[in-house]
Amino acid sequence: MIPKKDYDELEAWIYHVSGKHDFNTEVFKIGETEEGRNIVGLHVGDKNHSSDKPKIFIECGIHAREWIAPAACRQFIHEILHNVGYPAEYNQAAADDQSAGNERAGDPYTKEDVIGLMDFNWYIILQMNPDGYQYSHTEDRMWRKNRSSNNGHFCKGVDLNRQFPVGHLTLGPFSKFGIQFDEIPSNGNVLIQNF
């Protein structure tokens, strides 16, 4: 079971995982929030942004109060890295399971299924809304938006998923991976569009 984490713990977890699996992961930063938090993600794959491998982008959390999405993505990362990143341990566990009559007890997939996921380069952002996510942990559990100032208006924040144009990322492969990321505007509008 993956326990919930506030944003500081989530960011620390990303760096910890990348340090532990430095041969096939790296942390990338796409910007900074209005309150000064980093928006970081984890690249899992061959660490070659210009490789011919297909690239898959996953954004796991855009609404502050939806805590399960980042946790589910952490579990996904865990499964990939621990089944691919530690093959000797996995092979021993699989051998123990097979001797007990199970291919892999409790897993709905095989080792080959998981290894097949490494045929891709994964770009995973666990939380696109660090300020709102943290605020939902400390102040208002039901907070949904980010924490941008809205040009001094008394209503704080915007709903980030309502800031994309019609048809965003629907035409063919997403081809901007591997370029330098521009600084993301502090007002929180269209955070991911420049990625």
CB atoms within 10 A of CB 97: 15
Say if 187 falls within a structural domain: no
Number of alpha carbons in the 13 Å side-chain half-sphere of residue 32 = 5
Q: What are the two backbone dihedrals, phi and then psi, of residue 139, each rounded to the nearest 5 degrees?
A: -120, -50
User: Is the separation of the CB atoms in 110 and 104 below 8 Å?
Assistant: yes
Say what the pLDDT of residue 90 is: 44
pLDDT tens by residue, 150-161 = 887 888 888 887
Say if 22 falls within a structural domain: yes
Say if 55 falls within a structural domain: yes
Say what the pLDDT of residue 95 is: 53
What are 34's two structure tokens? 């209005």
Render 43-90 in DSSP notation, one character per residue.
EESSS-TTSSS-EEEEE---STT--HHHHHHHHHHHHHHHHHS-HHHH
69: domain CATH number is 3.40.630.10
Domain that holds residue 90: 7-162
Say if 181 falls within a structural domain: no
User: Is the separation of the CB atoms in 44 and 24 below 8 Å?
Assistant: yes
What total number of domains does the chain contain? 1
Burial 116-149 (b: 16+ CB within 10 A, else e): ebbeebbbbbbbbbbbbbbbbbeeeeebbbbbbe
Tens-digit pLDDT string for the chain (195 aa):
556 789 999 999 999 999 999 888 999 999 999 999 999 999 999 888 888 999 999 999 999 999 999 999 999 999 888 877 554 554 554 455 455 444 555 667 777 787 888 889 999 999 999 999 999 999 999 999 999 988 878 888 888 877 766 666 554 444 444 333 333 344 444 445 555
Say if 41 falls within a structural domain: yes
Tokens 């001094």, located at residue:
152
Residues 6+ apart with CB under 8 A from 176: 195
Helix 7-20 with 68-84: angle, nearest 10 deg = 10
Say what the pLDDT of residue 114 is: 79
Say if 167 falls within a structural domain: no
Say what the pLDDT of residue 23 is: 87
Say if 35 falls within a structural domain: yes
Say what the pLDDT of residue 195 is: 52
Say what the pLDDT of residue 179 is: 31
